[in-house]
Amino acid sequence: MLFAVASKDGKEINQHFGHVERFLIYQVEEDVVTFLEERPVEKYCRFDPEHPLRAHTLKDTADALKGCRAVVCSMIGEAPKMELERLGVEPYVVEGEIEPVLRDLARVL
């Protein structure tokens, strides 16, 4: 199972969804957590009077995260959360060390 993680340091889930410029992609199989790659995305939280909800950015982010079961971040606004869910990406808000959190999520998903 693949997870996209919002992390500033690669150790903790400690970044707001809207501030991410790259997601860390992890695979979890039988309680083994493996870092696979970084996937760049356009930062969602930017002033854009033409597109205040930035749905185009969320679609691009969802496309970049194809194959991931969930996005794990420390915070996410209601509008991007609902749009990601509509696009088939499940957002989870949690903080903590990446590996134990991903193991726990993989057990319940």
| pLDDT at residue number 79 | 81
| pLDDT at residue number 49 | 57
Q: Higher-confidence residue: 57 or 10?
A: 10
Q: Higher-confidence residue: 94 or 60?
A: 94
- pLDDT single digits (tens) 59-89: 888 889 889 999 999 999 888 888 888 878 8
Q: Higher-confidence residue: 96 or 81?
A: 96
- pLDDT single digits (tens) 20-59: 999 999 999 999 999 999 999 988 776 555 555 556 777 8
* Alpha-carbon gap, residue 31 to 46, rounded angstroms: 37
| pLDDT at residue number 51 | 54
Q: Give the domains, in start order, of the chain with CATH numbers.
A: 2-108 (3.30.420.130)
